[in-house]
Amino acid sequence: MFLKNSPSGPNKKLINYGGLYVTMVNATSIQVSAELKKTLEKRKMVAAESYEEVIWDLLEDTMELNEETKRELLQAEAEIKAGKFITHEELKKKLGL
């Protein structure tokens, strides 16, 4: 048996049991109200989605954008202001829909 960092993140460890790898996660528990748990449950995209994944999705909106994304947003805004776009109706017509 040996332990190594998992490629999916530093908080996950892979343990090799004779060729069978088991993932161990360094985790902690948090207390939430029944109401918040229901709200988190409703935000799951699929039933198997973990509460951690739901919380990360919520936090993602508040995290800082990287520099490349900021440049792309500025470029897109400039293109729109310059009229370099087509409407949905124009695209549907162009595609024959």
d(CA 79, CA 81): 5
Note the pLDDT tens digit of each residue in 40-91: 999 999 988 888 889 888 888 777 888 888 999 999 999 999 999 999 999 9
| Structural domain containing residue 10 | 1-29
Task: Judge if 71 and 96 occupy the same domain.
Answer: yes
The dihedrals phi and psi of 11, each to the nearest 5 degrees, come to -85, -5
Task: Judge if 9 and 21 occupy the same domain.
Answer: yes
Candidates 55, 26, 30; CA nearest to 40 is 55
- The band of 5, judged by pLDDT with boundaries at 50, 70 and 90, is very low
Q: How many domains does the chain have?
A: 3
Task: Judge if 74 and 56 occupy the same domain.
Answer: no
- Asked if 21 contacts 14 with a C-beta cutoff of 8 angstroms, the reply is yes
Which pLDDT does position 24 carry in this prediction? 65
Beta strands in 2-92 (DSSP E): 2-6, 9-17, 20-25
Task: Judge if 47 and 73 occupy the same domain.
Answer: no
Task: Judge if 14 and 41 occupy the same domain.
Answer: no
Note the pLDDT tens digit of each residue in 49-63: 888 889 888 888 777
- The band of 29, judged by pLDDT with boundaries at 50, 70 and 90, is confident
Tell me which of 15 and 29 has the higher pLDDT: 29
